[in-house]
Each structure stands twice: as C-alpha cells, then as structure tokens.
Structure 1
Amino acid sequence: MAANRKLLAVAAACAAVVIGVTGCGGDNGGDKDPFEGMSADKIAKKASKTSKNAGSFTMKSQVKESTGQATGEFTVAKGGDCKATIDSGKQGHSEILTVGDASYMKADEKYWKTTAGATIAGRVKGRWVKAPSKGDSACALGDMFESKKFKNLKREKDAEVDGKKAAVLVKKKGDETTTFYVAMEGKPYFLKVTNDGDEKGTATFSGYGEAVDVKAPAPGEVVDQKQLAGL
C-alpha cells in the first residue's frame, strides 16, 4: 500500500493536519473575524477538534510524481469504514474499500504487474483482493487531524477555497512549506492543505458529517489474499 500512502503525504506528512478530540465552533457570519485574538496554532487546533468531531469527510488529493501527477479520493465514514480511488501515472488505477476489519482492493493490470507481478495480475483481474485491515490500510486517515503537531504556525492573509472564506495558516520547516486553510464561515473545518517541498501536493476536504455508505463486494467478486500466497 506504499503507493496509496504517498497520496496522503500532502496532508499527513506536512504537519499532520486534521482530526483532534471534541468540540466544534458555532456558525460564523458577516465580516467579523471568528478567530480574532487567537494565535495561528490555536486556530489550527480548533479546526482539528472540529474536523475530528464531524466523524466523516471526503479528502481529494493531488501529489506530484516524477512521471506526472497522482490523484486520490478518500471518503471516510463514522466508525472508520472507507472507500477510495487512486490514480497514478507510475502504478495505474486502484480502488479500496475498508469495511469493519477487512480491506478490499481492486486494481487495473498495470497496478498489479507493477506491485505484484504478472502471475498475480492474471489471477486477480477484475476481482477484489481481501485482506485484514489491521488499521493500516490506505484509508486509515486517523492521523490527519492530530492536533498535537500544530506548532509554530503563522497566520497570513485570508483567502478563498471554493468560494468559502478561509484563514490561511503557514508552517515552514527547512525547505518545506505547509499551508492550512480553515473555514471562517460556519464551523471551522479544514478546507485545504498544500505542501511545497520534497513532496508537492494539495489535499482538499469536504462532506464533513455527511452520511457515507460503504459496502463489501459480493463474495463472488472477491479473492482472499491467503489464496495468492506462494504464487
């Protein structure tokens, strides 16, 4: 799943955006700054708690690769179930489902040949490969909202993300710059994270608190990872 995790570098490696503990801000309106008097670190931690409290969300990511651009869309439900699609110029197209304690992956021939070889690619063509999730699937985005890492941020000029006004918080570490965008209207969710350094990319967030339906594939469409062992 290393290729899948790379898509998370934008939001995770930067300074671990996103989910904290409890509490959420009230709705904000008008031109008043809802974060007046708050440091950039405190704004980020407030957004962390609010985003965590929402329980569900969708993240779309874009990460620059040597061969082009990798994109991913991850939708996480309350309770941890998840569905994702990932497209990479290096490794092809893959889909992921995490339901309970099981993880399922379906991918194109390019992906399987690149990661597992031609024999496996032939065995799993058009089918889902089932494996224990163990909390380490590409959909395990729990670290995204860790509030303890929001330190030494600086607030810069406000901006807009998809028409929504956002506070802009910047963290610089060496040659790497990570920028967090926090909603200033409604609840203070994270709206976007960009990373400019060794890993260049963007992650945008939406669908906070919305219902997410994730279902396991039909048994006839699944091959267990154990069946592939030794091939």
Structure 2
Amino acid sequence: MAANRKLLAAAVACAAAFVGITGCSSEEKDPFDGMSADKIAKKASDASKDAGSFRVSGEGKQDAETVKVDFSVAKSGDCKGKVGGGAAGTAELLVSGNTQYMKGDEAYWKKAMGGSGKAAALKDKWVKTPNGETGGVCDPDAMFQSKDLKDMKREKDSEVDGEKAAVLTKSKSGKKTTFYVAAEGKPYFLKVVTSGKEDPGTMNFSDYGKPVAVKAPAPGDVMDMEELMKS
C-alpha cells in the first residue's frame, strides 16, 4: 500500500506540472518555442520599453577611443549618469524634461568644443542644452527600436550573470550585433554586443522597473550653452 501511495503522489505531481503548478521533469521549456528570432526580438523590445525604467552600462569604441557609459532612465523619460573616459575626459549627464545638463572635466569640454579656450571656464559646471525633439539620449523608443530588429538569427542559448538568455544575432555590412534576451520572467534585453571594425562595444541592461529619481541642478549652478556661445 505504501508503494501505491508513493506512485499516486508522483502521478499527482506530474498532473500538476501539466497545468503549470509544479515540475516533474528536469527538462526546461523554451519560453520562445515556435517563435522566429525577429518575433523574439520584437517581444524583448516591447517588454524593455514597457518596463518604464532601467539602467544601461558598458563601453565601446568611437573614433578609436574607448567610451564608457553608465546611466539610469526613469519612467518619465528623465535620466542621469556618466559618460566618457580616457583622453576624451568624463562628464555627468542629467536629462530633466526638455533640458539636458552636462558637467564635465576640462578634457571633456576641450574635446566637445574642439579645443575652445572656453573649456577651462566650463570645468565642473553644469551646462544646459535642449534635449532634442525626439527625447534625446535617454529615449527608450530610440534605444529599443523594433524596426531595426529585422533579419535576426537565433543562436544557442547562453547566460548573462547567471540568468538564462536566448541569443539573437544580426549581421550587416561587416558588423555583427548579438542580443541577449531574458528567457526567465519578462523577456527583457540583458546585453547587446556589437563587433566589427566600426564602433564595437558591449552594453548591459538591468534594474528594469526600479524607480529612478532625477533632479535638475539648482539654477544658480547652471550655465546656458546658447548664451555662452554668443559671448
């Protein structure tokens, strides 16, 4: 009788697994089973944008120089973080509403202004500029554009920081981009790696849905770039 009870318990466990309650097999189901790589990418794009807030960090090459970024985007579209590195200098970035603020070291402003003598005056000062008509650097719609996620190919699954991920690749004009999409929970983008001669780099995405507080600098700490260029 004891053996029959154990057999019955095992049967109940597997029946529950069939309706999604628990598991009776070590084999994991593919959440993207039957979906094309393009559809997986579209699903990831929608989920990442719908999260409202997130963090992106990493580094890449621009004009043969290494550029590092680390910033957080709020649900409102505001954001804050740092960008730069090396000979190009570093700067803090803050976007609040329709205004973008930058606070860089002297090396950053020399690079940004083409060696202008005004670079020293701007050192460690917040400088404001318009954020752009399309939301600027922190626009999730621009960052997760599904219209560019076409002609994708699914590769063997991998992991990102211990999290299982579907791997999608796109190759065009000697440039290969690899997208890692979370295969557990919401299908967020976890990492994007670009390889090739032009602008290679790696960007990591995390902290989806976590609140991000962004506060504009005090007016007395801000210089207006448009006014500065007139002087």
**Superposed pair shares fold, TM > 0.5:** yes
Deviations 1:4-25 (A, max 9, x none): xxxxxxxxxxxxxxxxxxxxxx
- Unaligned regions of 5+ residues in structure 1, if any? 1-28
Q: Is the 8 A contact 1:67 1:89 kept in 2?
A: no
1:111 is aligned to 2:140: no
The structure with the largest helix share of the pair is: 2
Instruction: Point out the more displaced range, 106-115 or 130-139.
Output: 130-139
Q: Which residue of 2 is the match for residue 7 of structure 1?
A: none
Q: Is the 8 A contact 2:49 2:140 kept in 1?
A: no
Residue 79 (structure 1) shift: 1.8
2:126 pairs with 125, 128, 142, which one? Answer: 128
Q: Which residue of 1 is the match for residue 89 of structure 2?
A: 92
State the number of aligned residues: 203
Residue 40 (structure 1) shift: 0.8
Tell me the amino acid that sits aligned with residue 119 of structure 2.
A
Q: Which residue of 2 is the match for residue 203 of structure 1?
A: 203
Q: Which residue of 2 is the match for residue 37 of structure 1?
A: 34
1:181 is aligned to 2:180: yes
With normalisation by structure 2, the TM-score equals 0.81
Residue 153 (structure 1) shift: 0.9
Between structure 1 and structure 2, the one with the greater Rg is 2
Q: Which residue of 2 is the match for residue 6 of structure 1?
A: none
Instruction: Point out the more displaced range, 54-63 or 219-228.
Output: 219-228
Structure with more relative contact order (C-alpha pairs < 8 Å, separation 6 or more)? 1
Distance 2:123 2:176 in 1: 41
1:80 is aligned to 2:84: no
Against the structure 1 CA distance between its residues 43 and 153, is the aligned structure 2 distance closer, same or farther, given a 3 Å change threshold? Answer: same
Tell me the amino acid that sits aligned with residue 157 of structure 1.
K
Deviations 1:27-47 (A, max 9, x none): xx9821101111111111111
With normalisation by structure 1, the TM-score equals 0.81
Tell me the amino acid that sits aligned with residue 107 of structure 1.
G
Distance 2:203 2:57 in 1: 6
Instruction: Point out the more displaced range, 165-174 or 116-125.
Output: 116-125
Against the structure 1 CA distance between its residues 125 and 69, is the aligned structure 2 distance closer, same or farther, given a 3 Å change threshold? Answer: closer
Aligned-residue sequence identity (percent) comes to 53
Q: Which residue of 2 is the match for residue 46 of structure 1?
A: 43
Residue 96 (structure 1) shift: 1.0
Residue 68 (structure 1) shift: 5.1
